[in-house]
A and B are shown apart, each in its own frame.
Chain A
Amino acid sequence: MTPIGEREPESVHEHRPLRPETNFASAKIAIFQYAAVGVFVLLVARFWDLQVKNPGVYQERAEQNRIRAIPVPAPRGRILDRDGRIIVDNHSSYTLLLNRENLKTAHLKEIADGLDLDYDQLVARLEKFKRRPSYEPVVIKEELTPQELEFVDSHRDPGTFPELMLIKAQRRLYPRDGLGAHAIGYVGEVSEAELDSPDFAKYEQGEIIGKDGLERQYNDTLMGVDGQRRVVVDNMGREREVLDDKPAVPGHDLQTTLDLDLQVVAELGLGDREGAVVALDPRTGEVLAMVSKPEFDPNMFSARIKTKDWSALVQNPDKPLLNRAIQAQLAPGSTFKPLMAMAGLETGVIDDGFRVHCSGGASFYGRWFKCWQKHGHGEVDVHRGIVQSCDVFFYTVGNKLGIDRIAQYAEMAGLGHKTGVDLPHEADGIMPSTRWVMRNYHRKWYAGETISVSIGQGAVAVTPLQLASAIGGIVEGGVWKTPHLVRDPMHAVAFRKGDLKPENVAQVIAGMYGVVNEGGTGGSARLPGIAVCGKTGSAQVASNELVKSLKGSKLAGSLKDNGWFVGFAPRDNPEIVVVALVQGGMHGTVAAPIVRDVLKAYFDKRARQMQPLPELAWMRVPAPAPPAAPRKPEPATPPAEADMEDH
């Protein structure tokens, strides 16, 4: 009757347990007791299930609750100019991560709404990370605004979205207005397609890598190694205890050969016009400035770029992502003529005494080829040919040389091949020859085509950097140093040597000096006190490739003549060669002032640096290098004073 081992106190046993009045309920009380036993058995059985049968499962879940792996992103190295001035820096910002261990898909919609994220993209992004272990959180938003921070802070509690994790991260900070954007490139998260390619196999889903420019080329130097911290957190996500801490290893700074002063002058010189400017030290191959316009803002990429911004960039008919300095392949026009003169003189096809009569045009192979000067130049020798840019003179030289000898010298100067500059996606350019047409078009070369090539038209196409390198090598007497933006301290700069006679080099230089200083086509590049040499060029059509790629855009505009100017200084022992390209600029005279300004900036700066403080005059040589710029190159030759007072 009294079930389950109930013990009654002694006193109770002396009396009958049930009285008549309460007898009626005895059976029902027993039922109640059995029901109570049933309740207790069920509850204890449930505790047995949870605590004894597989406690490991719950202990693990409790661990997951409290232990959180927090990534510590390594800051990328900074990018510096040749004087150690910072071009690309980092700034701290907040990055939001999603902890996938306690993620509820139902929350995503609200999270996406609260943070101005695209819901479908967010879902797709999580899908991408399915292969990664779930204790690794996923970055869902970078550079949080104060409003977004507030949203995260007020929704991080366990009752709302405990999966939200906030970390501090160093983000890329690029110069404003896209300064040097094309040379520097940008960073972004490694893409699915990249991960599948062998070059990117070493990266992992979600990593931020250099995507273009120097950021990509020197990614291994710039990129650090991310750390990780394992912490105990409470239900509010607050850190209570650090279990272990693997610190991040920051990336190395990258010192470039770029000179911010020249870069800024070049950017301003080109302004809003489409084109490119390249400044090169021909003695070393160091690139001092590299501009391409229109520019883009790499800061857009430093946070995760929105699809709409990305498509706007890619679909922009002006192709702002194209680095025209190394990727635009255009006919060089008359800037090709110094090369022609060089080839003519070196092969002996022409000499000092060689004369051509220009009457405003000439007939070759049954076709009339015009000179740009309708009324003709009259008697023209090689010097005047360059100075006046006489087409008829170079038609004749080209006709005598033949395409293959032109190609031989052009290729010696580096045309038709990548310069090997340390930037990704450099274009080859085109230098046609009989072999080239045979290989690409399976046909013979028509001698008439040589006439167009002689003045830098027809199939020949160069990039601004190629032109700068080619002319720079010639004026250095036939030594073409591989252009580069970062000096490799372990290896000497690679170079190609051509066998050029000094008197021929001097002849070509004299011609280019005349272009600027003797009433030639490049008078607007003249600088007082500095012996500037140069050559204008206006190229009638864009290369076939580019026309195709720009098809459907402002076609008319892109078919306008391109203005070129290649200039260098000083005349003796040139230190800098600058190429400016103004697309649709009609004539090289529009490009010449840009080159002049860059040259002026270069020589002004050098003069400033050479000007010693009076009391320090005695310790002038060697000039102390600024500590921030350990790799600052010493001038290879002392400044030639004679050059500076000339003219």
Chain B
Amino acid sequence: MATYRSIRDYDWVLLIVAFAICAVGVLQIFSATLDTPWRDAWWKQVMWIGLGVLLMWFSASIDYHTLLARVPWLYALSILGLVSTFIIGRRAYGSQRWIGVAGVRLQVSEFVKLVIILLVARYLSDLKTERLEPRDLLKLGGLIALPMLLVVKQPDLGTALTYLPILVVGVFLAGLKWQHAVILVASIALILPAGYYVLRDYQKERLLSFLDPSRDPRGSGYQVIQSEIAVGAGGIWGQGVTRGTQTQLRFLPVPHTDFIFSAFAEEHGFVGVVVVMGLYFLLLMQIVQNAQTAPDRAGLYICMGIGALLLFHLLVNVGMVVGRMPVTGIPLPLMSSGGSNILSVFMMLGLVNNVRLRRFVN
């Protein structure tokens, strides 16, 4: 079929849902940044979305098999990019994770996600064994651990953690002996308390104040409490656009980026929350459906990796907004204001479509 790459074959349900979420996001950014120095953030967001659509088309066009073949190069480029943030990176909000490209600041670790997705897909699809051997697991784990450590070092624990679900879901799909799974879980359980000691003070603080928000109400505990107040004050129908006092009087921290869903929940209430959560669910299930119809293992791993990553983002970000997850500072995909995340998510959607466009090949 010569027309398999026609524009009609894109997953339009997926795209319409994604654009709907983006629109809600832009509206909320507009409302949350009214009368603040970020008041033009909504317009910037629109521009980012436009650029994202372009990149989506781009990443859907190149056959993902070609991309998979370039994984070693892409991986090397990622490591180089992450290392370069330490050298030429911009420092902001106490961490060094941005590099300037053509006058805009891009967060390298956001784009590394795509490489990780491709890396996992290639590595696991190359395996011909029924189950994953521990040796392969260690190798793959090591390959992901390197960029993770670099990102943790920036320091940006939140983004580093988003690489994990890609690996976890990939390994889960590839098949793991349950004994190995037990050993894996047990060793992680042992490493976690030890890991507590290598955390930075502010990270410990966040973790502790997540466990007990009233413990430190001036730091992240304060953010969680204010966020819960904002969500609760929204009620069933919400306070109305630009009418949420928690958002407008800035009791809510960063209401256009990490806590955008809190601002949204305050101004649109439970009804709005259910609608947007429904959209996210639709988005996720559409991605999963594309995994199910993928032409090969690699395509399936790519789609599932993206699904796992987005689910993790949702769980951690929305969970943080309602006080069920620690404050990690990871954005809500497609809604939070910020270029790098928008671009990387649209590129992921591009990959999903890439897989979809090539499902009739064989």
Q: CA separation between A104 and B225, bound complex, in Å?
A: 13
Chain B 254-289 near chain A by CB (<8 Å), digits 1 or 0: 000000000001000110011001001100111011
Q: Which residues of B contact A (CB under 8 A)?
A: 9, 11-13, 169, 172-173, 175, 214, 216-219, 222, 226, 228-236, 245-246, 249-251, 265, 269-270, 273-274, 277, 280-281, 284-286, 288-289, 291-297, 299-300, 304, 307-308, 311, 314-315, 318-319, 322-324, 359-360
Is A25's CB under 8 angstroms from B300's CB? yes
A28 within 8 A of B: yes
Chain A 4-26 near chain B by CB (<8 Å), digits 1 or 0: 10111101100101110110111
- The residue of chain A having its C-beta at the shortest distance from the C-beta of B324 within the complex is A46
Q: CA separation between A61 and B234, bound complex, in Å?
A: 12
Residue from the list A9, A19, A160, A234 in contact with B13, Cβ < 8 A? A9
Is A160's CB under 8 angstroms from B218's CB? yes
Q: Is the interface of B mostly helix, strand, loop or mixed?
A: helix
- The residue of chain B having its C-beta at the shortest distance from the C-beta of A161 within the complex is B218
Question: Min CB distance, B132 to chain A, in Å?
Answer: 12
- Docked complex: A536-554 residues within 8 A CB-CB of B: none
Is B219's CB under 8 angstroms from A59's CB? no
Question: Min CB distance, A345 to chain B, in Å?
Answer: 83
Question: Min CB distance, A417 to chain B, in Å?
Answer: 62
Is A44's CB under 8 angstroms from B308's CB? no
Residue from the list B246, B304, B307 in contact with A62, Cβ < 8 A? B246
Chain A hits for B284, CB < 8 A: 36
Q: Which residues of A contact B (CB under 8 A)?
A: 2, 4, 6-9, 11-12, 15, 17-19, 21-22, 24-26, 28-29, 31-33, 35-37, 39-40, 42-44, 46-48, 50-52, 54-55, 57-59, 61-63, 65-66, 102, 104, 106-107, 158-161, 232-236, 240
Given A22-B300, A44-B274, A65-B249, 6 more A-B residue pairs with CB atoms under 8 Å apart are A9-B11, A9-B12, A21-B297, A43-B277, A46-B319, A104-B218
Q: CA separation between A31 and B359, bound complex, in Å?
A: 23
Q: CA separation between A311 and B265, bound complex, in Å?
A: 57
Chain A hits for B233, CB < 8 A: 55, 58-59, 61-62
- Ranked nearest first, the 4 interchain pairs of A and B with the lowest CB-CB distance are A58-B232, A55-B235, A62-B233, A234-B249
Number of residue pairs across A and B with beta carbons under 8 Å?
A: 173
- The residue of chain A having its C-beta at the shortest distance from the C-beta of B281 within the complex is A40
Chain B hits for A44, CB < 8 A: 273-274, 277
Q: CA separation between A631 and B265, bound complex, in Å?
A: 67
Q: CA separation between A104 and B277, bound complex, in Å?
A: 35
Is B315's CB under 8 angstroms from A43's CB? yes
- The residue of chain B having its C-beta at the shortest distance from the C-beta of A234 within the complex is B249
Is A29's CB under 8 angstroms from B291's CB? yes
Given A22-B297, A32-B307, A47-B322, the answer on whether A58 and B231 have CB atoms closer than 8 Å is yes
Sample (20) of A-B pairs whose CB atoms are under 8 Å apart: A6-B285, A6-B289, A11-B9, A22-B300, A39-B315, A40-B277, A43-B318, A47-B270, A47-B322, A51-B232, A51-B270, A55-B232, A58-B228, A58-B231, A59-B233, A61-B229, A62-B229, A104-B214, A107-B218, A233-B249
Q: CA separation between A29 and B285, bound complex, in Å?
A: 11
Question: Min CB distance, B276 to chain A, in Å?
Answer: 10
Q: Is the interface of A mostly helix, strand, loop or mixed?
A: helix
Chain B hits for A11, CB < 8 A: 9
Q: CA separation between A48 and B294, bound complex, in Å?
A: 37
Residue from the list A17, A29, A43, A52 in contact with B319, Cβ < 8 A? A43
Q: CA separation between A6 and B281, bound complex, in Å?
A: 10
Question: Min CB distance, B106 to chain A, in Å?
Answer: 28
Chain A hits for B318, CB < 8 A: 43
Chain A hits for B286, CB < 8 A: 6
Q: CA separation between A15 and B269, bound complex, in Å?
A: 41
Is A29's CB under 8 angstroms from B273's CB? no
Question: Min CB distance, B262 to chain A, in Å?
Answer: 10
- The residue of chain B having its C-beta at the shortest distance from the C-beta of A58 within the complex is B232
Is B232's CB under 8 angstroms from A25's CB? no
Q: CA separation between A32 and B289, bound complex, in Å?
A: 12
Question: Min CB distance, B126 to chain A, in Å?
Answer: 13
Question: Min CB distance, A507 to chain B, in Å?
Answer: 83
Chain B hits for A24, CB < 8 A: 175
Is B231's CB under 8 angstroms from A22's CB? no
Is B232's CB under 8 angstroms from A57's CB? yes
Q: CA separation between A15 and B322, bound complex, in Å?
A: 42
Is B314's CB under 8 angstroms from A51's CB? no
Question: Min CB distance, B317 to chain A, in Å?
Answer: 10
Question: Min CB distance, A419 to chain B, in Å?
Answer: 60
Chain A hits for B13, CB < 8 A: 7, 9
Is A29's CB under 8 angstroms from B251's CB? no
Chain A hits for B219, CB < 8 A: 159
Chain A hits for B250, CB < 8 A: 234-236
- The residue of chain B having its C-beta at the shortest distance from the C-beta of A67 within the complex is B245
Is B322's CB under 8 angstroms from A43's CB? yes
Chain A hits for B12, CB < 8 A: 9
- The residue of chain B having its C-beta at the shortest distance from the C-beta of A3 within the complex is B285
Given A51-B235, A55-B233, the answer on whether A32 and B308 have CB atoms closer than 8 Å is yes
Question: Min CB distance, B169 to chain A, in Å?
Answer: 7
Given A47-B265, A47-B270, A232-B249, the answer on whether A18 and B292 have CB atoms closer than 8 Å is yes
Chain A hits for B285, CB < 8 A: 4, 6, 33, 36
Is B249's CB under 8 angstroms from A52's CB? no
Q: CA separation between A25 and B12, bound complex, in Å?
A: 25
- The residue of chain A having its C-beta at the shortest distance from the C-beta of B238 within the complex is A51
Given A29-B288, A29-B292, the answer on whether A51 and B273 have CB atoms closer than 8 Å is yes
Taking each of A9, A57, A107, which has the highest tally of chain B beta carbons within 10 Å of its own beta carbon? A9
- The residue of chain B having its C-beta at the shortest distance from the C-beta of A53 within the complex is B232
Chain A hits for B319, CB < 8 A: 43, 46
Q: CA separation between A537 and B303, bound complex, in Å?
A: 111
Q: CA separation between A22 and B219, bound complex, in Å?
A: 47
Is B249's CB under 8 angstroms from A22's CB? no
- The residue of chain B having its C-beta at the shortest distance from the C-beta of A157 within the complex is B218
Residue from the list B251, B269, B274, B295 in contact with A158, Cβ < 8 A? B251
Residue from the list B9, B216, B289 in contact with A8, Cβ < 8 A? B289
Question: Min CB distance, A376 to chain B, in Å?
Answer: 87
Given A24-B175, A43-B277, A47-B270, the answer on whether A2 and B292 have CB atoms closer than 8 Å is yes
